[in-house]
Amino acid sequence: MPAGSIRWRILASFLVIISVIFALTSTRLTEYVSGFLYEQRIRQDSLSVERLADTAAPLFASADEEGLRESLLRAGGELGGRLLVLDRDGKVQFDTWARLMGTRLVTGEVQRVLSGGETVSYGIHHTADEGWVAYCAAALTGGGGALLYVRDVAEMMASLDGVRRDLTAVFSLAAIAAVAAALIFSHVLTRPINRLTQTIRRMGEGDLSVRVPVKGSGEMRRLAESYNTMAAQLEALDRSRNQFVSDASHELKTPLTAMKSLLEDVLYQPSMPEETRTEFLSDVDREIDRLTGIINDLLTLTRMDNGRLEIHAEPLSLSEGVQETLHMLRPQAEKRGQKLLADIDEDIRIQGDPNKLSQVFWNLIENAIKYTPDGGTIEVRLRRRGNEAIFTVRDNGVGIPEEDLPHVFERFYRVDKARSRETGGTGLGLAIVKQLVNLHGGEVKVASVHGEGSVFTVILPAEAEG
C-alpha cells in the first residue's frame, strides 16, 4: 500500500482517531477507578487512625507504655496493619512490628502532621522491601508526636493494574477491529477507482473499446457513467476518423491508378500517333483536375471538422449569387441538351459568405445536371418567405431510392457507385453543402422519387423585406 494512497490515508486516519480516543478514555477511566478505590480506603483508614490516635494520645502523654502497647497491638490486629508511634521529632517510640524502634522516620505524611498542622495525612508509596504501602499519619493531641499506620496496598494496586490491562486489551481489540474495518472500507471505496485507473491505462495504450462496470450509486456510479460516455464518444470519433482516412485514400487511389495506366500507355508506345497521345495526356489532365477537386473537398471538410473554416459574413444579394452560378453552369447543361429554368426573386439579401454560398448553389445545381439524363429539365428557384430565403433545385432525373435518402449528406456516400464514378463524383459535395448551410444557420432537405426526380431545398435566414 503506497503512502499517499487513499487506502493508506483512511487507515492512518482511523489509527489516529482510535489512539486519541484510547489515550483520553484510558487515562480518564483509570483516574476515575483509582480515585474511587483510594477515596474509600482513605476515608476508612483516616477515620480509624484518627479514632485510635484519640485513644492513644493520653496513654502516650502519660508515658503509659504498657497501656499503649496493649491498645496498639490490639488495634493493629483489628486493622490488619502496622502501627508506629513517633515523637515530635519523628523518632519511632513504638512499632507493633518492633523493628524500627528509635529510628527517625520522617515521611511526608508524618511531616505534615508533626509540623504542617494537619490532624491526619495519607499517601501511597512504593518501597523496595515493602512493595506498595499506604501511610496514614494522625496527630497525637496533647503529648505531641504522631501515630503512623502502614498498610499493604499491593492488592489494591494490583486490581488497578488489572483495570488498566483490561482497558488496554479492550482497546487493542477495538483498534484491530477498526483497522480491519478501515482495510475493508478503503478497499470497497478504492476498488472502483483502481478499476477505472486500469481501464484508463488500457485506453491510453490504444484499446478504445474498454468500459468500466457501472455499479452502486452516488459519485462512483456517476463517475463510471461519465467515463463510459466519454470512452464511447472517443471510440466513435476514432472509428469515423479511420473510416474517413480509408475512404479518402480509396478515392485518391482511383484517379492515380487511371493516370498511371494512361501514362504507361504513352510511355511504352513510342510509336503512338500524335493525336492519340494528346488525347491520353488530356485524360491525364482531367484526372489531375479531379484529384485536385477531391483534395480541395477533403481540405474543406477537415477544416470544418477542426472548426477552422471561418465564415466571412457580409451583406450580400442571394439573387445575384444564384444568377452567377447559373450563368457558369449553363454551358454544362446545354451540352447535355437539358433545360435549365430559373425563377429567382429579385434582391433577396442575407448575411453570408459569398464564396461558400456559391459553393452550395454550385454543388446542388451540378448534381442536378449530373444526375439528370440528357434532355431533362432542371428548375432553380429562389423565394423569400418571411425572414427566410428558400432556394430549391428540382430535376426530373434518376431520383434517389427511399432507403438512400437519409444517407446522401454523409461523406463519400453515393447511391450508385459505378454511375457516379463515371460522372466523376466522390460523394463529398452534399456533405460540404450541409456543413456550409449549417454554418450559415440554415438547413438543407431532400425529397425524391426514384426514377422521377429530386428536389433539394436550402432554407437560409434572410434580412426582412423592405
Ligand X SMILES: Nc1ncnc2c1ncn2[C@@H]1O[C@H](COP(=O)(O)OP(=O)(O)OP(=O)(O)O)[C@@H](O)[C@H]1O
Which residue, 64 or 416, has its beta carbon nearer to ligand X? 416
State the nearest-atom distance from the C-beta of 338 to ligand X, in Å: 12
Which residues, 6+ apart, have CB-to-CB distance to 259 below 8 Å?
A: 284, 287, 288, 291
Which residue, 187 or 407, has its beta carbon nearer to ligand X? 407
Long-range (24+ apart) CB contacts under 8 A made by 24-30 are: 25/167, 25/171, 26/164, 26/167, 26/168, 26/171, 29/163, 29/167, 30/160, 30/163, 30/164, 30/167
In the numeric block, which cell numbers belong to residue 78?
483489628
By a kind-dependent CB cut-off of 5 to 8 A, residue 454 interacts, out of ligand X, Mg ion, none, with ligand X
User: Which residue among 90, 255, 376, 429 contacts Mg ion (CB under 5 A)?
Assistant: 429
> What are the residues binding ligand X (CB under 6 A)?
297, 363, 367-368, 371, 395, 397-400, 408, 413-416, 420, 425-431, 454
Burial of 185 (0-12, 13-18, 19+ CB in 10 A): middle
State the nearest-atom distance from the C-beta of 378 to ligand X, in Å: 9
Cα separation, 33 vs 183, whole angstroms? 34
State the nearest-atom distance from the C-beta of 339 to ligand X, in Å: 15
Which residue, 153 or 398, has its beta carbon nearer to ligand X? 398
Secondary structure (DSSP) of 163-180 = HHHHHHHHHHHHHHHHHH
Q: What share of the chain is helix, strand, coil (3-state, %, to 5)?
A: 60, 20, 25
State the nearest-atom distance from the C-beta of 240 to ligand X, in Å: 17
Secondary structure (DSSP) of 246-302 = HHHHHHHHHHHHHHHHHHHHHHH-TT--HHHHHHHHHHHHHHHHHHHHHHHHHHHHH
By a kind-dependent CB cut-off of 5 to 8 A, residue 390 interacts, out of Mg ion, ligand X, none, with none
> Binding pattern to Mg ion, positions 7-46, x when CB under 5 A?
----------------------------------------
Which residue, 321 or 429, has its beta carbon nearer to Mg ion? 429
Tell me if 437 sits within 8 A of 458, measured CB to CB: yes
Burial of 98 (0-12, 13-18, 19+ CB in 10 A): exposed
Burial of 415 (0-12, 13-18, 19+ CB in 10 A): buried
Which residues, 6+ apart, have CB-to-CB distance to 221 below 8 Å?
A: 214, 215
By a kind-dependent CB cut-off of 5 to 8 A, residue 397 interacts, out of ligand X, Mg ion, none, with ligand X
In the numeric block, which cell numbers belong to residue 309?
473554416
Stretch that binds Mg ion, among 31-39, 88-96, 297-305, 361-369 (CB under 5 A): 361-369
Which residue, 280 or 391, has its beta carbon nearer to ligand X? 391
By a kind-dependent CB cut-off of 5 to 8 A, residue 332 interacts, out of Mg ion, ligand X, none, with none
Q: Which residue is nearest to Mg ion (CB)?
A: 429
By a kind-dependent CB cut-off of 5 to 8 A, residue 420 interacts, out of ligand X, Mg ion, none, with ligand X
What is the helix (H) or strand (E) element at residue 406, kind and residue range?
none
Which residue, 7 or 290, has its beta carbon nearer to ligand X? 290
Within 10 angstroms of residue 198's Cβ, the number of other Cβ atoms is 12
By a kind-dependent CB cut-off of 5 to 8 A, residue 398 interacts, out of ligand X, Mg ion, none, with ligand X
State the nearest-atom distance from the C-beta of 425 to ligand X, in Å: 2
State the nearest-atom distance from the C-beta of 365 to ligand X, in Å: 9
Site residue total, Mg ion (CB under 5 A): 2
Which residue, 86 or 248, has its beta carbon nearer to ligand X? 248
In the numeric block, which cell numbers belong to residue 9?
490515508
State the nearest-atom distance from the C-beta of 433 to Mg ion, in Å: 8
Which residue, 316 or 405, has its beta carbon nearer to ligand X? 405
State the nearest-atom distance from the C-beta of 229 to ligand X, in Å: 31
Shortest CA distance to 393 belongs to which of 402, 406, 381, 408? 381
By a kind-dependent CB cut-off of 5 to 8 A, residue 60 interacts, out of ligand X, Mg ion, none, with none
By a kind-dependent CB cut-off of 5 to 8 A, residue 413 interacts, out of Mg ion, ligand X, none, with ligand X
Which residue, 207 or 334, has its beta carbon nearer to ligand X? 334
397 binds Mg ion (CB under 5 A): no
Footprint (CB under 5 A) of Mg ion, residues 364-393: 367
State the nearest-atom distance from the C-beta of 428 to ligand X, in Å: 4
Which residue, 148 or 430, has its beta carbon nearer to ligand X? 430
Cα separation, 212 vs 196, whole angstroms? 6
| Backbone torsions φ then ψ of 123, nearest 5 degrees | -165, 155
Which residue, 77 or 401, has its beta carbon nearer to ligand X? 401
Shortest CA distance to 160 belongs to which of 41, 36, 30, 23? 30
Shortest CA distance to 422 belongs to which of 294, 254, 279, 243? 254
By a kind-dependent CB cut-off of 5 to 8 A, residue 171 interacts, out of ligand X, Mg ion, none, with none
State the nearest-atom distance from the C-beta of 371 to Mg ion, in Å: 8
Question: Where do contacts with Mg ion occur on this chain (CB under 5 A)?
Answer: 367, 429
